[in-house]
């Protein structure tokens, strides 16, 4: 047996493989970016009809009873042909589909077994038999199917496009999983239990600033608020797209002190206010001394400055968790070195930038 880090497999060789990738990429680039699609075909001359290969409802019932279906026309060898198509799909990386070509009667083609609602990923079979003139009856079905596959792969709005994009993103960095100990991370999103939580690599944490304990208490209140200055009215206001993926907030002082625990959002997203609108909102809905503390700190050019306001509450699960401030800032600098995550410099900014970091990287800074 191999060690736990070794993987054992055997080579497989389909009879025919059609590889498809975008013309603007080389083959190597397409492989690296998960844009390659392999479609396999195997010729099975010993199969006479589709039931021998794929079975029918009697086989399904037999499996449910944990017994063997009695079919004189089907042998273990023929049934292994179907298993081999599963093997092609699962063993050959970037396989989009695996199909059998067998000498059945045209019209006996079996609709592909799609894993999901789209034409790929799938298994299937096509009946192709030469006629008296030596022409391959049924080959038109294969030709149309290949046209459909090409049309599907050329469509960038498919679910497969999304899956392969995230697959390439997930494995490019080759990062190791984070051991976050006993900290509980919910499997559901803040939108509700019907929605999965974002992966920690895609769930963003906002690093917001506070000046005093009153502002921190305002953020941690069960009806709390966190506000970050985005810029001024003059010029274009640019909001970074990562801000929309924020699900948690960490509070930090300009001096480098990081408050313990996370703040959770009481509602998804954020609201935009001018400073005068923010004054009214906080006076009407916020509790405690944090509003007065902000009033004393904020200027009075009310219509010039623009803020993003998050509705927050303390997270009781993580409230005692401490963060290593220096490590946190190192992770932020590294994350922002990617041009896609570079912070936005809006007109007239005088306060520190609101910083954003994936939850995965925040977890690396826990004590």
Q: What is the mean pLDDT of residues 88-97?
A: 76
Identify the bridge partners of residue 123 per DSSP, sorted by sequence position.
98, 113
Say how far apart CA 347 and CA 304 lie, in whole Å. 11
291-323 tens-digit pLDDT: 777 777 666 656 678 889 999 999 998 999 999
Q: Which residues of 342-366 are buried (b: 16+ CB within 10 A; e: fewer)?
A: eebebeeeeeebbbbbbbbbbbbbb
**Straight-line distance from the first to the last Cα atom of the chain, in angstroms, rounded to the nearest whole number:** 38
Higher pLDDT: 46 or 123? It is 123
Total-model pTM? 0.69
135 class by beta-carbon count within 10 Å (0-12 exposed, 13-18 middle, 19+ buried): exposed
pLDDT at 275 over 80: yes
User: Which range, of 50-54, 193-197, 274-278, averages the lowest pLDDT?
Assistant: 50-54
pLDDT attached to residue 289:
75
Compute the residue count for the chain: 367
Say how far apart CA 237 and CA 226 lie, in whole Å. 19
Domain extent listing, the chain: 16-170, 188-363
User: Within its chain, how far is the Cα of 134 from the centroid?
Assistant: 50
């Amino acid at each position: 047996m191999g060690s736990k880090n070794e993987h054992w497999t055997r080579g497989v060789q389909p009879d025919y493989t059609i590889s498809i990738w975008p013309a603007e990429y080389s083959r190597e680039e397409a492989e690296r970016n998960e844009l390659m699609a392999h479609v396999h075909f195997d010729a099975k001359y010993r199969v006479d009809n589709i039931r021998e290969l794929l079975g029918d409802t009697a086989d399904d019932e037999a499996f449910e009873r944990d017994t063997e279906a009695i079919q004189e026309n089907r042998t273990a060898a023929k049934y292994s042909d179907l298993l081999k198509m599963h093997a092609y799909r699962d063993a050959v990386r970037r396989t989009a589909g695996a199909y059998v070509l067998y000498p059945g009667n045209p019209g006996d083609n079996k609709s592909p077994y799609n894993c999901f609602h789209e034409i790929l990923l799938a298994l299937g079979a096509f009946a192709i038999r030469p006629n008296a003139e030596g022409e391959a009856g049924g080959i038109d079905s294969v030709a149309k199917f290949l046209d459909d596959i090409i049309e599907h792969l050329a469509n960038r709005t498919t679910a497969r496009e999304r899956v392969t994009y995230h697959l390439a993103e997930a494995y490019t960095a080759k990062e190791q999983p984070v051991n976050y100990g006993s900290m509980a991370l919910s499997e559901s999103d803040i939108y509700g239990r019907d929605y999965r939580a974002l992966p920690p690599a895609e769930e963003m944490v906002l690093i917001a600033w506070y000046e005093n304990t009153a502002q921190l208490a305002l953020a941690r209140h069960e009806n709390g608020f966190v506000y970050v200055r985005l810029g001024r009215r003059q010029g274009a206001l640019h909001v970074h797209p990562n801000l929309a993926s924020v699900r948690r907030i960490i509070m930090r002082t300009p001096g480098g002190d990081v408050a313990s625990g996370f703040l959770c959002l009481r509602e998804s997203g954020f609201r935009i206010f001018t400073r005068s609108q923010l004054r009214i909102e906080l006076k009407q809905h916020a509790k405690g001394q944090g509003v007065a503390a902000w009033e004393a700190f904020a200027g009075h050019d009310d219509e010039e400055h623009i803020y993003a306001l998050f509705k927050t509450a303390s997270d009781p699960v993580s409230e005692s968790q401490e963060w290593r401030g220096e490590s946190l800032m190192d992770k932020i600098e590294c994350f922002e070195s990617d041009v896609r995550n570079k912070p936005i410099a809006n007109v007239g900014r005088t306060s520190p930038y609101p910083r954003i970091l994936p939850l995965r990287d925040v977890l690396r800074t826990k004590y």
